Amino acid sequence: MTLKRLLTNELNTFGLQIRKSSFIIFILLITLSAPSFAQKPKKFRFSGYLEYLNNTWVPQGEIYKTFGIDNWQNQSGIYNRFNFWYAPAKNFEFYVGMRNNFIFGPLNATYNNLFNMAGLNYNELATNDPGYFNLTFMIADGNSYYFFTNFDRANFKWTLKKFELTVGRQRINWGVNLIWNPNDIFNAYNYFDFNYVERPGSDAVLMQLYTGDFSSVQLAGKLGYIQVLSDSNTLKKELKLTAAAMYRFNLWNYDFQLFGGVMENDVTAGLGWAGSIAGAGFTVEVSWFRDQKQFADTTGVWVASIGINYTFSNSIFINFSGIYNSVGQTGPANAKTGDFLTSPVSVFSNNLNAKTLTRSRFDIFGQISYPATPLINLDLASIYNPYDKSVFVGPSVTFSLTDNISLMLVGQLFWGNNLTEFGNIGQMYFLDLKWSF
């Protein structure tokens, strides 16, 4: 397998097309909006944050020495977010969410040099917009940095009694589990991307009718582009549709949901529920996928997750979850995808959907969290692959420095043999300083 194929297989949804723009978009938006907030506070809402994130990567495994990566790597990021809501009428609201991201450091240069070997541009891949509309704009970039603006929310909502219509870039959240969401066919997210708390959005239409106090019917559809590797070993864009209907209702003090539709190349259906057992939260999601083009020749793929969480009287929180993938590997989870796919590019990429949340047949998650003081929270999480015996451990501590400033120290530690799910990665250490406003 060629280096280019290894790289593009993992990042094929990032794409190569990027539109150049100016930061004038951002300045103009702030300039026009700022006076309006003071004049009409009831119609406008505004929030955001400014964040600094430093990442130190300690690589592990012979694969990195092959590419000349045998020392510690460092990268920093300055992230800024603005959220704008404007309600010109009681039942009508506009929402725009924009992210400004400046990523820089030797690690970014390492990635660019590696991707250049395959004739690819890492900066462009990392900033591609997979939506139907390209709402990501590169402002400036170089070998060791890139600076871009992304609009991950841009929609309007209309409500009429028990009916809601939302059109535009939005997040359609159908998941109920805290970690893995096989029901989330519109907006699957990567657990390891911890500082993107808003999670991705889609260019979509969502209609929701509340049929009772605890029941509703939802119809949703989204259009977006994915990147696929052609027979000539080049990337090409394909427009894909995801559309489904969901019915939610309450029975026996449990919230149930049933859905069916299509997700890109697959026919899909699923169910989920959320409730409690003896005071512990209990959630289940099950989804089925079957290739539309080979419907008669395949049996389909089953992905299911289960979660149990409980908060003790002393505020200790515990959370356990498991995920099952009927076509996942029962040996080394990366044995069929190549050495490079065990790198951080694989672990931290957004190349995920509800069908590909894990490469393993089964993974187990555990977490314990404790507020040591009102201003300090301790957390320890772990994921274990019982087949290839690889493991992830994620300790973190969060300090509330003021009402709106927080400092978080995070470790993402990966161990395992060659080609296992969490092997050949190493350790990541993060320092995150965030001011919310």
CB distance 289 to 182 below 8 Å: no
Domain assignment present for residue 41? The answer is no
Domain assignment present for residue 40? The answer is no
In angstroms, the Cα distances linking 10 to 13, 32, 198, 434 are 8, 41, 23, 30
Domain assignment present for residue 315? The answer is yes
Task: Give the separation between CA 90 and CA 238, rounded to whole angstroms.
Answer: 39
Write the DSSP string, 103-141: EESHHHHHHHHHHHTTT--HHHHHT---BSS--EEEEEE
What's the confidence (pLDDT) of residue 232?
A: 63
Domain assignment present for residue 39? The answer is no
User: What CATH code is carried by the domain that includes residue 71?
Assistant: 2.40.160.10
How do 136-142 and 19-20 pair as beta strands? parallel
What's the confidence (pLDDT) of residue 182?
A: 97
From 365, 423, 367, select the one nearest 396 (Cα to Cα): 367
What's the confidence (pLDDT) of residue 153?
A: 98
What's the confidence (pLDDT) of residue 381?
A: 98
The torsion angles phi and psi of 265, rounded to 5 degrees, stand at -90, 0
> What is the extent of the structural domain holding 310?
3-32+47-436
Task: List CB contacts of 45: < 8 A, sequence separation 6 or more.
Answer: 83, 84, 85, 86
Nearest 5°: the CA angle 243, 245, 251 is 150
Task: Give the separation between CA 156 and CA 27, rounded to whole angstroms.
Answer: 22
Look at the block and give the residue holding tokens 């957390």: 379
Alpha helices in 117-152 (DSSP H): 122-126
Domain assignment present for residue 176? The answer is yes
Low-confidence residues of the chain: pLDDT under 70: 1-42, 229-235, 336-350
pLDDT tens digits for 338-384?
Answer: 434 334 445 666 678 999 999 999 999 999 999 999 999 999 999 99
Could you tell me the pTM of the whole model? 0.86
Domain assignment present for residue 194? The answer is yes
* The two three-digit tokens of residue 349, written as one number: 């990429």
Query: For the chain, what is the domain count?
Result: 1
Domain assignment present for residue 38? The answer is no
Domain assignment present for residue 297? The answer is yes
